[in-house]
């Protein structure tokens, strides 16, 4: 199967998931919360008013028809109004997405960057102290609640040591760089404002650490076990017999294979970071989508909640799709197996 065939085939496989996701979100948003008309009009509304609004909102139609209407609206960008901000939900989310995206991407990048050397060292020193240390660190890393780690980091690095800013994306008085990508790190570099870049970077350190600790731990453990699997293979033995330097064998040949199988988890991690950013953003008053979503939940602002769920769900499915594409590109056997 050619690579293009593989992409198309894999793309078609995502369709039922996205379709199912839209049904699930529709059911949660329209069926569970009870009667939206009663909610909107309050308990004193007359039966006539209720029926009139119900017809206006299309709620007198059978559910499948309502679903089609709803989906058509979502596809055309009509995500409804937010009860809290009185804006179109889609534009609210689009305005907040870059902050969350920047946080998640920076977190994932550094988590993977640090996980690689730690995982390689643990894997090539199986059952020695490096391995035990990495195991215990990883178990601690996945066991501590991220929002609590965030608070502890604030207590240590902000309150006690005064090294880093408490919250937000930029310090008071620092003007956001001219918007190109809406990612402050990138935009400040484009504009040549290095002061702003440093300020934005400082604000990212603690949220990224709190958010990424568990991901770092997971990826590290995965690279470790994949490195151990690689070590048993013939090509490694051959390379050693040829007298190639250890570092070259480990970081060039073994790591490439080990990393390929870790890709799936990294893709999954992207979705999970997106989902877990909620709690960390709250602690750091990060002006992102997740914080918007949490506020929407506290205010029972249903259109916004549905919007956030759509964005994160589609982000999750897309991340898996991209991972599979990379996977099929790096390791052509994956494409053949599909037959």
Partner 1 sequence: MATENTERIFDSNDTARQERIKQLKRGVQSFTQNKLSVIGLLMILTLVFAAIFAPYIAPYPEDAGPGVNYDQASQPPSLEHPMGTDTTGRDIFSRVLFGARLSLLMGIVVLSIAISIGVTLGLVAGYLGGKTNTVIMRTTDVFLAIPPTLLAMTVVAATGASLINVMIAIAFSWWSWYTRLVQGEVLSIKEDEFIESSRALGSGWFRTTFKEILPNVLSPITVKATLDMGFVILVGAGLSFLGLGAQPPTPTWGAMIAQGRNYVTSFWWIAVFPGLAISFAVLGFNFIGDGLRDVLDVEVN
Positions in the binding site for partner 1 (CB under 8 A): 16-17, 20-21, 23-25, 28-29, 32-33, 135-136, 139-140, 142-148, 151-152, 154-155, 159, 271-272, 274-276, 278-279, 282-283, 293-294, 296-298, 300, 302, 305-306, 308-309, 312-313, 316-317, 320
Per-residue 3-state assignment (H helix, E strand, C coil) for 271-285:
HHHHHHHHHHHHHCC
Q: Which C-beta is closer to partner 1: that of 259 or that of 278? A: 278
Residues facing 106 on adjacent strands: none
| SS3 of residue 187 by DSSP | helix
Q: Shortest distance, CB of residue 120 to partner 1, whole angstroms? A: 21
Which CB, 14 or 61, lies closer to partner 1?
14
Which residues make Cβ contacts (< 8 Å) with residue 31, sequence separation at least 6?
Answer: 63
CB of 284 to partner 1, least distance (A): 11
Cβ distance to partner 1 smaller for residue 208 or 289? 289
Q: Which is nearer to partner 1, 286 or 302 (CB)?
A: 302
Instruction: Tell me how far, at minimum, the Cβ of 283 lies from partner 1, in Å.
Output: 7
The span from the CA of 265 to the CA of 215, in Å, is 9
CA distance 314 to 202: 30
Contact 331, 262 (CB under 8 A): no
Q: How far is the CB of 252 from partner 1 (least distance, A)?
A: 27
Name the residue nearer to partner 1 (CB basis): 158 or 236: 158
Other C-beta atoms lying within 10 Å of the C-beta of residue 218: 21
In which region does residue 86 sit, left (phi positive, over 0), alpha (psi from -120 to 50) or beta (all else)?
left
CB of 189 to partner 1, least distance (A): 31
């Amino acid at each position: 199967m050619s690579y293009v065939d593989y992409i198309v085939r894999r793309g078609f496989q995502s369709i039922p998931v996205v379709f199912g996701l839209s049904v699930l979100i529709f059911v949660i948003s329209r069926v569970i919360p009870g009667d939206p008309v009663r909610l909107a009009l309050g308990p004193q509304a007359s039966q006539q008013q209720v029926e009139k609004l119900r017809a206006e909102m299309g709620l007198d139609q059978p559910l499948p028809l309502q679903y089609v209407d709803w989906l058509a609206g979502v596809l055309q960008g009509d995500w409804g109004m937010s009860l809290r901000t009185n804006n179109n939900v889609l534009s609210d989310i689009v305005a907040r997405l870059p902050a969350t995206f920047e946080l998640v991407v920076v977190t994932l990048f550094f988590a993977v960057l640090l996980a690689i050397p730690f995982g390689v060292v643990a894997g090539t020193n199986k059952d020695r102290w490096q391995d035990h240390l990495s195991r215990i660190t990883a178990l601690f890393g996945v066991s501590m609640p991220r929002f609590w780690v965030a608070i502890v980091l604030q207590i240590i690095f902000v309150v006690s040591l005064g090294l880093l800013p408490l919250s937000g994306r930029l310090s008071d008085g620092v003007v956001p760089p001219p918007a190109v990508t809406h990612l402050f790190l990138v935009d400040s570099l484009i504009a040549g404002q290095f002061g702003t870049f440093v300020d934005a970077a400082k604000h990212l350190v603690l949220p990224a650490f709190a958010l990424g600790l568990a991901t770092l731990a997971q990826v590290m453990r995965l690279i470790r076990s994949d490195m151990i699997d690689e070590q048993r293979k013939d090509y490694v033995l051959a390379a050693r017999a040829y007298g190639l330097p250890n570092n070259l064998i480990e970081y060039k040949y073994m790591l490439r294979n080990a990393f390929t199988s870790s890709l799936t988890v990294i893709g999954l991690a992207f979705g999970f970071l997106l989902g877990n950013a909620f709690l960390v953003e709250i602690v750091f008053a990060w002006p992102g989508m997740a914080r918007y979503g949490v506020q929407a939940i506290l205010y029972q602002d249903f259109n916004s909640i549905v919007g956030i769920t759509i964005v994160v769900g589609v982000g999750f499915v897309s991340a898996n799709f991209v991972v599979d594409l990379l996977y099929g590109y790096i390791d052509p056997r994956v494409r053949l197996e599909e037959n």
